[in-house]
């Protein structure tokens, strides 16, 4: 067990060094604390904002099936050790995940919880497995309204028949719908998006044409949330259990998700709060948010309308969403829906 643990500490040190080649990363170092000598699994020393910085990492090479995830007692122990040694930051690295109590305590006291990923390295015995949440959204309806100096009537005109510069405006609308759904945690509701044009543009359809100063589309969606247990791996990276994000090492680490099937999953009424919070990203960080958009036709080419739209109107984020916008529809509450 000691040999196996040492091997895991070595690979943890190697992955952490890949994130900052200028840092000093030492495995198995002894240091002197208030109560005597203490062994550190991994010691990271470098500079941050021009100041010397020291971090300590505890490595837990557990067997998930035999020991289960790392519990709160290990967070308590590291909290004591970092105070004794005056560490600027501290992490626990586990290949078996963490209990809910451990995650809550670590958040409160400011201890990071991670797993390292290094695809193909036998020293990492178990892949990262966590629960992720995917949306399955069906486009129920889409309609277009053009507004100009004179009234524009599109009654009876099919969406695909309205053209700008000879290209279907529907292609651009569906591209914007995809971006809108992807950028917001929505699964249900009707949404209206109005784009002000920087100058009047001429649109055409069979039997007519007109100049418009605004383009408005209405979209209705129906769908739900589904939970999935997936494996997460990378050529070189870490999984942050507090942020539920992957951070890839500089140099183009590759991310792999195993075991997700967008047409399956456990239906849930609403996602955890973390899925609804928009946070900034760290360098090299990737968020695991998945969405399958059904009844969606992606057609090319897309008319170049974006360059004629006021920049603020291209903003995708919807603020102050009502709760039913991110709540699963009743028909998605049954398996196989």
Tell which residue, 129, 128, 134, has the closest CA to residue 289.
134
What is the DSSP code string of 228-263? EEEEEEESSEEEETTTTEEEEPTTTPPEEEES--TT
Establish how many alpha carbons lie within 13 A of residue 262's alpha carbon, considering only the half-sphere containing its beta carbon.
12
Residue 97: strand, helix, or coil: coil
- Per domain, the residue ranges of the chain are 2-126, 134-224+294-332
Cα separation, 101 vs 116, in Å, equals: 21
How far apart CA 328 and CA 325 sit, in angstroms, is 8
Average pLDDT (175-179) is 94
pLDDT value of residue 331 = 53
Provide the 3-class DSSP secondary structure of residue 323.
helix
Asked if residues 294 and 137 have their Cβ atoms less than 8 Å apart, the reply is yes
pLDDT tens, 247-298?
A: 998 875 688 999 999 999 999 999 988 888 878 888 888 888 899 999 988 7
Quick check: 144 pLDDT over 70?
Answer: yes
> What is the pTM assigned to this prediction?
0.84
- How many angstroms separate the CA atoms of 181 and 321, rounded? 13
* Topology of the domain covering 2-126: Trna Endonuclease; Chain: A, domain 1 (3.40.1350)
Average pLDDT along the chain: 90
């Amino acid at each position: 067990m000691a040999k196996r643990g040492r091997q895991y500490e070595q690979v943890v040190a190697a992955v952490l060094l890949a994130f900052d080649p200028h840092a000093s990363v030492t495995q198995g170092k002894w240091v002197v604390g208030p109560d005597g000598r203490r062994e550190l699994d991994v010691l990271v020393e470098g500079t941050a904002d021009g100041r010397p910085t020291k971090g300590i990492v505890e490595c837990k090479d557990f067997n998930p099936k035999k020991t289960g995830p790392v519990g709160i007692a290990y967070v308590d122990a590291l909290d004591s050790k970092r105070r004794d040694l005056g560490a600027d930051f501290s992490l626990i690295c586990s290949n078996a995940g963490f209990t809910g109590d451990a995650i809550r305590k670590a958040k409160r006291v400011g201890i990071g919880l991670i797993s390292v990923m290094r695809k193909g390295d036998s020293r990492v015995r178990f892949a990262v497995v966590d629960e992720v949440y995917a949306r399955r959204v069906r486009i129920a309806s889409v309609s277009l309204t053009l507004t100009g100096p004179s009234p524009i009537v599109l009654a009876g005109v099919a969406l695909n028949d309205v053209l700008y510069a000879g290209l279907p405006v529907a292609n651009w609308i569906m591209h914007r719908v995809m971006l809108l759904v992807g950028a917001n945690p929505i699964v249900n509701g009707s949404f209206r998006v109005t784009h002000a044009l920087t100058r009047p543009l001429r649109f055409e359809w069979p039997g007519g044409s007109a100049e418009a100063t605004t383009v408005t589309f209405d979209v209705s969606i129906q769908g739900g949330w589904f939970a999935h247990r997936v494996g997460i791996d990378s050529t070189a990276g870490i999984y942050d259990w507090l942020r539920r994000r992957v951070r890839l090492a500089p140099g183009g680490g590759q991310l792999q998700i195993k075991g997700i099937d967008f047409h399956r999953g456990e239906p849930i009424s609403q996602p955890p709060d973390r899925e609804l919070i928009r946070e900034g990203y760290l360098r090299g960080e990737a968020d695991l948010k998945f969405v399958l958009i059904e009844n969606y036709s992606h057609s090319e080419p897309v008319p170049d309308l974006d360059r004629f739209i006021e920049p603020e109107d291209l903003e995708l984020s919807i603020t102050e969403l009502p709760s039913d916008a991110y709540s699963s529809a009743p028909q998605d509450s049954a398996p196989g829906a």
